[in-house]
Amino acid sequence: MAAYRVTPALHRALHAFKHDSYRSRLCVTASHAQYSTVYDSNEKTFDKILIANRGEIACRVMRTCKKMGIKTVAVHSDVDSSAVHVKMADEAVCVGPAPTSKSYLNMDAIMEAVRQAGAQAVHPGYGFLSENKEFAKRLAAEGVTFIGPDTHAIQAMGDKIESKLIAKQAKVNTIPGFDGVVKDADEAVRIAGEIGYPVMIKASAGGGGKGMRIAWNDDETRDGFRFSSQEAASSFGDDRLLIEKFIDDPRHIEIQVLADKHGNALWLNERECSIQRRNQKVVEEAPSMFLDPETRRAMGEQAVALAKAVQYSSAGTVEFLVDSQKNFYFLEMNTRLQVEHPITECITGLDLVHQMIRVAKGYTLQHTQADVPINGWAIESRVYAEDPYKSFGLPSIGRLSQYQEPTNLTGVRVDSGIQEGSDISIYYDPMISKLVSYGSTRTEALQRMEAALDSYVIRGVTHNIPLLREIIVNQRFISGDISTKFLPEVYPEGFKGHQLSDSEREELLATAASLFVATQLRSQRFLGNLRVSGVQQGQRKWVLSVELEKGAHSVSVSRAGSTYTVDLDGKSVDVSSEWNLASALLPVTVNGTQRTVQCLSRNAGGEIDLQYLGTVYTVRVLSKLAATLSKHMPEKVPEDTSSILRSPMPGSVVAVSVKPGDTVSAGQEICVIEAMKMQNSMTAAKTAKVKSVHCKPGETVGEGDLLVELE
């Protein structure tokens, strides 16, 4: 019998057939994008584009390429060989092992992939090589088009020191600071003293919040210099730093610009990006509630002036800090497609990737400034595999055991590059997706975002949906009273999850009791037939003990069809649902109020993990007899954490500052853990002698792993 070889192309075709439901989901997702763009099939651009990126942005670029009839080439590391962007592309090339320095930042490997695939152009996405002038030069040398600005603009705007000087010359408002490279920590302290605290220390070649530290005194300046330079070297291969005055309590508002190679440039309105943690954006919206038309126009005109000053051609973003008096100051220019670009697409109707490809081919812009509208309101929530209860989000890793995007909802768009079964690893950014809601008004967009977050199913990794939902329902956020200090001001003791009101607590307890009874009733039947069960046939009333956060309540539940009436603390609560217990989502109506809850798990001890109003609560529901007997069960004694230091997240050990026998003070640095290119200093909880050290530089640690023991 003849042997048949499965070629890579056939393998991808089979994969595409297997994952056809995913492609359908993409079509549904795309249908929610508010595009008015017309794709002219007669307008010749490129036959084949290589996307030098991964994840959701690679998928995003590919969707537009497919609409334009352009073939796509994916690059991937060996651990990404089954990633969604690889399956979605027409071709795929492996460019190295998992570490970014050996794969997605490996310029030689990516250049070889371009040659191997015969790509005519490269779209860099964001991050990685997107703002690397050497990469753009090498592509140009081989006659391959870089879908982005030319090397002069990348050089000028990518270097924060040079960009600030150019901005001043273009009469763009700038922040007071030191116009030069800071050589060492001592010089950083001297400069900071001259500028006046607080100061911002940041990477000259940086972006995305990496390599940035705020310092309020000399000690923090020294630490900030050390961490920022290390993060900058790790993320960008360039450890140069600059220092400027930190504008306290500002808003972070950016202007989207679009320019062609013929001297035309537009500003496509603003994006409000003030909700941040560790200088990285969490929730964005367009337009901003804060700007009036005059300030918007002034910021837009300055952004365009800066773009023209460097002969910019492509989509780019000019970021500003805006104070309470609407004075605005140039922060930086990102010479690439921005993560949060979808909200601009929603309110303008423009497909920015389409515009970038057209400009790269040499076409003039299709629109004038007068054509750029603000239609409606759009909000983006960055959904991360992070634990929001740890510093507003420390990375989590794992496999998505269950995953369901809320793309069935009106006015909802999800940009993602993962699917059920995907792995979130320590090697790359922990973003799961960008969840976007769009409405004719801000209120409508917020309501749709709330519904989307409640209907988003993510299992297998810890995620930040509890924090995202709390932000968008917070009264300060709703009123527009925000700044970059929003999170630490609203949650000064850290994020603790949703704090239940009395009525919400009653809703949750009644829902848990009703779910418990519905589960008991389902256990009576198997394949439609009655079977032996602990529930009496025909039983219509149940007496239960419901416990939440050590508070126990005796409740009675009666049933009439699909409605349960729960008597709780002298109040009656009606809970109705179809009670499809096999579904990840459980729509319920509680006393006339519609909710979407998720039952994450149930165990034999009566504990039910319910996601309610975004936060997961553990409710214990027992029969009256089981509740009586449970009082005799021993309780687990919690671990004394004052004498041990465990890793709060998965990552790699960058440095260990102590050894056995050393005496450390409370707050003293013990070691540094790097996760997703962000460095985190681990400190001692008390003054004590070091008993043992269980880690060393270069090692990989998991969440909860023991690092150091104290006596």
Distance from C-alpha of 534 to C-alpha of 524, rounded to nearest angstrom: 8
Strands 328-334 and 280-286: unpaired
Longest dimension (CA), the chain: 83
80: nearest Cα among 380, 570, 502, 423: 423
286: nearest Cα among 306, 267, 303: 267
61: nearest Cα among 232, 460, 53: 53
At 256, give phi and psi (nearest 5°): -85, 125
Distance from C-alpha of 420 to C-alpha of 75, rounded to nearest angstrom: 21
Question: Contact at 8 Å (CB) between 410 and 49?
Answer: no
Vertex 312: Cα angle to 114 and 369 (nearest 5): 120
Spatial CB neighbours of 494, under 8 Å, sequence gap ≥ 6: 389, 391, 392
Distance from C-alpha of 302 to C-alpha of 167, rounded to nearest angstrom: 9
Tell me, yes or no, if 332 is annotated catalytic.
yes
Cis-peptide, bond into residue 198, ω within 30° of zero: yes
- 49-64 burial, b at 16+ Cβ within 10 Å, e below that, comes to bbbbbbbbbbbbbbbb
Strands (E), 147-249: 199-203, 212-215, 241-245
Spatial CB neighbours of 500, under 8 Å, sequence gap ≥ 6: 508, 613
Question: Contact at 8 Å (CB) between 76 and 52?
Answer: no
Strands (E), 408-523: 412-416, 423-424, 431-439, 457-459
Question: Contact at 8 Å (CB) between 63 and 41?
Answer: no
Instruction: Say how far residue 348 (Cα) sits from the centre of its chain.
Output: 23
Helices (H) and strands (E) in the chain, counts: 19, 40
Choosing from 231, 332, 345, 507, which is the catalytic residue?
Answer: 332
54: nearest Cα among 7, 88, 15, 13: 88
Residues acting as catalytic residues: 332
